[in-house]
Amino acid sequence: MTTSPLLTDLYELNMVQAYLDKNEDGEAVFEFFVRRLPARRGFLLAAGLEDALQFLETMRYSAADIAWLKSTGRFRDNLLDYLRDFRFTGDVHAIPEGSVCFPGEPLLRITAPLPQAQLVESRLINILHFQTLIASKAARMVLAAPVKILSDFGLRTAHGAEAGNFSARASYIAGFASVANVLAGQRYGIPIVGTMAHSFVQVHGDEMKAFETFARARPEGVVLLIDTYDTEAGARKVVELAPHLQADGIAIRGVRIDSGDLTAMSKKVRAILDAGGLKDTLILVSGGINEDVLQGMMKDGAPIDGFGIGVNLAASIDAPSLDCAYKLQDYRGTPKRKLSEGKQTWPGRKQVFRAYNSDGRMAGDILTVEGDRQDGEALIVEVMRDGKRVGAVPTLAQIRERATRDLARLPEPLRQLQTGIDYPVQVSDALKGLAAEADRLTKR
Amino acid sequence: MTTSPLLTDLYELNMVQAYLDKNEDGEAVFEFFVRRLPARRGFLLAAGLEDALQFLETMRYSAADIAWLKSTGRFRDNLLDYLRDFRFTGDVHAIPEGSVCFPGEPLLRITAPLPQAQLVESRLINILHFQTLIASKAARMVLAAPVKILSDFGLRTAHGAEAGNFSARASYIAGFASVANVLAGQRYGIPIVGTMAHSFVQVHGDEMKAFETFARARPEGVVLLIDTYDTEAGARKVVELAPHLQADGIAIRGVRIDSGDLTAMSKKVRAILDAGGLKDTLILVSGGINEDVLQGMMKDGAPIDGFGIGVNLAASIDAPSLDCAYKLQDYRGTPKRKLSEGKQTWPGRKQVFRAYNSDGRMAGDILTVEGDRQDGEALIVEVMRDGKRVGAVPTLAQIRERATRDLARLPEPLRQLQTGIDYPVQVSDALKGLAAEADRLTKR
C-alpha cells in the first residue's frame, strides 16, 4: 500500500520551500476533523488511522523522486536535500479507529516540526477522509439490518483500486461480514465471498447444466445465481438439482437474486425452496441495496439472509464526501485559528471527553483543550511518539469490536436512518478562552 | 500503477475454476458499456482505455499470489497452474479515449478465451468506470466555463490514491488545464499548480510577512491566498507589497480566494487590484465549485480567471457512479444476451456509426453488429490483437485534442448543463435480428 510521496498537492512543497528558506521549523500542531455531517447523518465512525500511521512511518523520497523534482526547476537544493533525508519524527494523537465521533472532534492530531507536519497533509486527508466516509456509511447499513450478512461487492465501481481495498476495510470495521475483493481478503484477512456471474449461466446456455457444473467445481459453499432468465424457474431448477448433488455430498448453501423486486421475489423463492425441502438454503440478494432499501426489506419481512452491497457502499452514493479539514492549531506554542468566512476553527491541542448515561448510552461530549480535565472518558490517545508507534497495534478484529461496542452505545435516535437530533458536543470554557487568546495574538 | 491481480472479485476465480474443470475455454466476447446516464447528463466522455490496456498487458500472478491462493484451500492445482502462466492473449476493440459516446455503446470489447475474458472483468470495470465518470463530469465544467483555467484540486477528498491520479488524468483529457497533485504531474505530464494554505499565513501571524516570504521563496508564478482573515484587507496588502517585489523583479501572478461569496468578493478584489495597478494579476478561486456554480459565475460576470475544483470533480458529487456493465455477448460463435428483469442487453460484437450534420455537429448514432456497414463514422477500432497493442499509443495531448474536438461537435442542447433532449442512438435491424436469434438459441 506504499504510495509515492509525490502523491501530494504542490502547495505543500511550495510552502516547505519557503519554510526552509527562513529556517521556519518550529513545532506545529495540526488537527484533522470533519466540519459537519452530511444530510440525514447522525454520527461518524472513525477509520483509516492504521493506514495513516503506516504512511507516516514509511514516507520516503527515492533518488528518482528527488531527481524528478529537481528536473521541474521549481525547487532549490535546500528543499531537495531536506526531502532526501526525510523521516517523519513527530507525535500523533488520535481517536482510535472504530470509535463513534462527531463533527469538530479531532480524529487525528500531528505535532511535528512545521515542514514535516505540512508535507504529510494531502495524503493524510486522502486516507482518513475516505475510510471514515465509508465506515460511517457502512455503519448505517449495519444498523438498518442487524443480524443479516452484509458483504462489500463494491470493487468494480469503487473509485479506483485503493478505494476498493479501503472500502472493504472500512465496511468490515463497521460490521460487514465479508468482501468479494480477493486482494482485501489477502491484505486484511477479511473473509472473501463470491458466487457466479450471469455470464456463467449464459456460457452454458442451459441453466441447469451451469448450476451443476458450478456446484461440482466449488463444492464448499455453493451459491447459485438464479435470475439470468426467469428467477422462479431458476429456483425450481435448484430444487430439482439438489438431490442429485446431495447424493454426492454437496449441499446448496444459497441462491442469489440480482434483479427485479427483491422483496417480492425473495418470498416466492423462499416458498419454492421450502416446498422443495431446501429450508436451510440461504437467499442472498444484490443490486441497488442501500440502508433505506435494507430497512424497507426488514419492515416488509423479506426472507433474505444476506446482501451484497456495491456502489452504494463503496462510493457512499448519497454523500460521497465529508466536509473535512486539516488545520494548524498551534505554532511555536502560540494558538492559531482560521477566521475565513464560514470556516472558523477552534485553536489549540484538543481533547474530547464523553459522558455516558446509566444505561451505558452516550450522553454528550465536551470538546476542550488538552490538559483541561473534564468528567467522562477521554477519547484522544497518543498513538505515535517521535515517529514511532506507541503501544500495541490493534488488530482489525479489535477495531471492529470497538465499532460494535460504540454503535451499541449510540443514543437511540442516532441509530435511526433519519436522525431527528444533534448529538450534544459542548465547547468548554477553557477552549473558548484559548480562542479569544488566539484572536488577540493574531495580527490581521 | 501495476496492481495485484488479486484485485478482483472472488466470483471470477470461482467461475474460472469451473471452466478449467470442464475445459471450457472457447472464444468469448464481452463488452463494457454504460446502461444509462445520471440525471441531467447528456453524454459520456470515454476515458481509462490506456490504463485498461496497460493492465491487460502486464497482468501476472506472482509466486506469492499463487501461494496465497493455494493457502485459502479454495482452488485446485489446475487453476493455480493456469494462473501461474497467465498472459492475456486476446483482442481488444474500443471507442478511443476522449470520444463523446452514449449509453448502450460499447466503450470496450474483449475477445479472448473464456477464462481470460472473465478474469479481467473486475479491474477493467474499476478502471473504465471511474475515469469515464470523471471525464464526463469534468467535460460539463469545461463547457460551463470555456476559456477559464480549470485545475483539479481534488486529491485530498478523492477516494484514495488512485482516484486522485485518475481524476487528474480524466479531467485533463476533458480540458482541464492543470492539477495540484504532484504525482499526476510526474506520471502523466500534466502541468502542476499550487499556491499556499491558510496555515502558511497563520504560521507567520502577520499576513504581509507571509506574502513576502512566499513570493521570495517561489518567485515564478507567485499566487497569494488572501482570505485567511479578511479578504479585502488581504487584497490591499497585495497592492502594497507589489512595488517592493517588483523592484526585485518579482511579479504577483495571482491571488486566491477560498471562502465567502466568491462572485461578490472577486469583484471587490478586482477593483482593489486594478486601482492598485495590478491589472494583470489573476483572480483564482476555490471552494465548492461545480458546473452550476461556474455557470452562475459566468452569468454574473465574476472577474475570475481560474478555478481550483476539488471534491465536486474528483468524487463527481452529484453522480458518483455510472450504471455500467461488462456483459457476455457471444460464446463460441453463438450470440448471448441477458434477459434479467430491467437489465436486458443487446447481443453480439457491436459497432457504432455516427452521422454528422452539415455544420459538423453530431446528428445521431446507429448501434449495429460488427460487419453491418452503415453510413457515418465507425467509432469502435481495434486497439489490441493477441495481447499486443495495435497501432501507435496516443499521447495524452492527442486524447485531449480528441475530446476538445468531440465536445465542439455535440449538438447545442447537449452542451447545456440541463439537457432537454436525448441524443438519438438507433438500434439497427441487423442487431435486432441477432437479438431474436440469441433468444431462440437460449434454453431458459
Residue B164, pLDDT score:
98
Q: Which CATH superfamily is domain A10-135+321-441 in?
A: nicotinate phosphoribosyltransferase (3.20.140.10)
Contacts of residue A62, defined as CB under 8 A and 6 or more positions apart, other chains included, come to none
What's the pLDDT score for residue B444?
A: 53
Q: How close, in Å, is residue B351 to chain A by CA atoms? A: 21
- Give the chain B residue nearest A326 (alpha carbons): B199
pLDDT band at A1 (very low <50, low <70, confident <90, very high): low
Binary contact (A8, B155; C-beta < 8 A): yes
At residue B441 the predicted structure's pLDDT band, cuts being 50, 70 and 90, is: confident
Instruction: Report the candidate in B130, B146, B122 with the shortest Cα–Cα distance to residue B59.
Output: B122
- A308 beta partners: A151, A286
How much of chain B exceeds pLDDT 90, in percent? Answer: 92
Mean pLDDT of A426-439: 93
Question: Does residue A332 have a pLDDT over 90?
Answer: yes
Helix (H, G, I), strand (E, B) or coil at A186: helix
Q: Show Cβ contacts of residue B54 under 8 Å, excluding neighbours closer than 6 positions.
A: B1
Residues contacting residue B75 through CB under 8 Å, at least 6 positions apart: B13, B17, B69
Residues B10, A192: contact at Cβ < 8 Å? yes
pLDDT at site A217: 92
Q: For residue A21, which residues of chain B lie inside 8 Å, CB to CB?
A: 213, 216-217
pLDDT at A230 over 80: yes
CATH number of this structure's domain B146-314, picked from the four choices 3.40.1010.10, 3.50.50.60, 3.20.20.70, 3.10.20.30: 3.20.20.70
pLDDT of res. A341? 61
pLDDT at B356: 98
Residue B443, pLDDT > 60, answer no
Distance in Å, alpha carbon of B98 to nearest chain A alpha carbon: 19
Model confidence band, residue A442 (pLDDT cutoffs 50, 70, 90): confident
The structure's pTM equals 0.97
Per mean pLDDT, which range of A86-95, A202-211, B337-346 is the poorest? Answer: B337-346
Exposure string (b/e) for A410-422, b if CB count within 10 Å is 16 or more? bbeebbbbebeee
- CATH code assigned to A145-314: 3.20.20.70
Task: For chain B, give every domain's residue range.
Answer: 10-135+320-441, 146-314
Q: Is A27 exposed, middle or buried (0-12, 13-18, 19+ CB in 10 A)?
A: middle
| Confidence band of A11 (pLDDT split at 50, 70, 90) | very high
Percentage of chain A beyond pLDDT 90 is 92
Q: Which chain B residue is nearest to residue A262, measuring alpha carbons?
A: B341
Q: How confident is the model at residue B440 (pLDDT cuts 50, 70, 90)?
A: confident
Confidence band (pLDDT; 50, 70, 90) for B344?
confident
Q: pLDDT at position B221, please?
A: 86
State the count of interchain CB pairs (< 8 A) between A and B.
347
- Nearest CA to B141 out of B131, B152, B132 is that of B152
How distant is the Cα of A393 from the closest Cα of chain B, in angstroms?
22
B3 and A161 within 8 Å at the Cβ level: the answer is yes
**What residues of chain A lie within 8 A of the CB of B159, using their CB?**
130, 158-160, 162-163, 166, 315, 320
Dihedral sign from CA coordinates of B12, B13, B14, B18: positive
Q: Where are the alpha helices (DSSP H) in B145-230?
A: 161-174, 182-188, 198-204, 207-217
- Give dist(CA A259, CA A285) in Å, integer: 8
Name residue, grid cell 477495531: A399
Query: Does residue A206 register a pLDDT over 60?
Result: yes
What is the distance in angstroms between the Cα of A221 and the nearest Cα belonging to chain B? Answer: 10
Lowest mean pLDDT among B6-15, B261-270, B362-371, B416-425: B416-425
Q: At residue A338, does pLDDT exceed 90? A: no
Q: Best residue in A1, A11, A231 to probe B by mutation, most B CBs within 10 Å?
A: A11
DSSP B10-49: HHHHHHHHHHHHTT---EEEEEEEEEEPPTT---EE---H
Grid cell locating B205 = 501571524
Instruction: Provide the 10 A C-beta neighbour count for residue A284.
Output: 23
Q: Quick one: average pLDDT of A239-265?
A: 96
- Residue B342, pLDDT > 70, answer no
Nearest to A214 among B18, B122, B441 (CB): B18
What burial letters (b/e) apply to A90-99, b meaning 16+ CB within 10 Å?
bbbbbbbbbb
Give the least confident one: A7-21, A78-92, B247-261, B332-346: B332-346
The per-residue pLDDT of chain A, averaged, comes to 95
Sign, CA dihedral B223-B227-B230-B231, equals positive
User: Which of B54, B123, B159 to mutate against chain A (most A CBs within 10 Å)?
Assistant: B159
Flag whether pLDDT at A340 surpasses 70: no
Rounded average pLDDT over A310-327: 97
Per the CB < 8 A criterion, the answer to whether B150 and B63 are in contact is: no
pLDDT tens-digit profile of B191-205? 999 999 999 999 998
Are A20 and A26 in contact by the 8 Å Cβ rule? The answer is no
Q: Check whether A443 has a pLDDT greater than 70.
A: no
Distance from CA of A360 to the nearest CA of B (A): 35
pLDDT in tens, A260-277: 999 999 999 999 999 999
pLDDT digits 0-9 by tens, B51-82: 999 999 999 999 999 999 999 999 999 999 99
What pLDDT is attached to residue B1?
56
Would you state the cell numbers that stand for residue B418, as one nine-digit string?
440541463
Contact A227 B341 (CB under 8 A): yes
- β-pairing, B149-152 vs B306-309, is parallel
Task: Say whether pLDDT at A229 is over 90.
Answer: no
Average predicted confidence (pLDDT) for chain B: 95
* Least confident piece of the model among A435-439, B27-31, B43-47, B69-73: A435-439
* pLDDT(B119) > 70: yes
Question: From the CA of A24, how many Å to the nearest CA of chain B?
Answer: 9
CATH of domain B10-135+320-441: 3.20.140.10
**Interchain pair B202, A341: CB under 8 A:** no
Q: Which residues of B touch A118 (CB under 8 A)?
A: 197, 199
Contact criterion met (CB < 8 Å) for A157 and B322: yes
Per-residue pLDDT band for A16 (boundaries 50, 70, 90) equals: very high
Cβ-based contacts of B203 with chain A (< 8 Å): 19, 24, 28, 114, 328, 331, 336
From chain A, the residues in CB contact with B334 under 8 A are: 205
Q: Mutation target for B interface from A3, A6, A9: give the one with most B CBs within 10 A.
A: A9
Strand ranges, E, within B102-235? 108-113, 149-152, 178-179, 222-225
B121 pLDDT above the threshold of 70 = yes
| Beta strands across the sheet bearing B425-427 | B377-378, B350-356, B362-369, B425-427
B387-428 pLDDT, tens digit per residue, is 999 989 999 999 999 999 999 999 999 999 987 789 999 999
